């Protein structure tokens, strides 16, 4: 049986490094949202691992919900068209909304989501991303909370995938180009 590690070019961030970044983000969010009506919204599927770890580091009361969107299909480049596959179950009016994303890449998906959810009258909408890849940005959007900045490479692990694989790696790694080309 093939080992997933054979498909990796290099490890960018270890499990321990990610845990420290998540702990720091959780502390900042807890402080910033003290006495607020926090609703954490995970953007599925990629944010699942990050969000699970992050919410355990948040020390204030919060609600959670999930939004599933797609702009990639099985390719490596965004189609540019964002489709909502699963909408929120929560009412947003008056809530302080924190969108949780695995990676801020082109910004197309997050820009669409932020615009869409802002029409539902939340008290605020902010973005927390584990990874930021500013070299690929196509829209004018910035995250309010950024864990790490990554190079313009195809990365997997800790929730990030290629064709639905590699999400279960406990670290962030660069995928060998021959795997996805």
Provide the annotated active-site residues: 105
d(CA 158, CA 167): 6
d(CA 22, CA 19): 5
**Cα torsion 102, 157, 153, 19: sign:** positive
Residue whose C-alpha is closest to residue 174's, from 79, 70, 164, 158: 158
Q: Per-residue DSSP letters for 114-135?
A: HHHHHTT--SEEEEEEEEE-GG
């Amino acid at each position: 049986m093939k080992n997933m590690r054979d498909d990796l070019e290099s490890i960018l961030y270890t499990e321990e490094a990610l845990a420290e970044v998540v702990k720091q983000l959780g502390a900042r969010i807890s402080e910033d949202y003290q006495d607020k009506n926090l609703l954490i919204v995970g953007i599925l599927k990629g944010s699942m691992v990050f969000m699970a770890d992050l919410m355990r580091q948040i020390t204030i009361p919060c609600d959670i919900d999930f939004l599933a969107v797609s702009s990639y299909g099985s390719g490596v480049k965004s189609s540019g068209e964002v489709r909502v596959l699963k909408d929120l179950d929560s009412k947003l009016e008056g809530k302080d909304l924190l969108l949780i994303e695995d990676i801020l890449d082109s910004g197309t998906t997050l820009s669409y989501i932020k615009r869409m959810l802002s029409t539902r009258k939340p008290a605020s909408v902010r973005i927390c991303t584990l990874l930021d890849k500013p070299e690929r940005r196509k829209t004018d959007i910035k995250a309010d909370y950024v864990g790490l900045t990554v190079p313009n490479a195809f990365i997997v692990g800790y929730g990030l995938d290629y064709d639905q694989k590699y999400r279960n790696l406990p670290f962030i790694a660069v995928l060998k180009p021959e795997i996805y080309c």
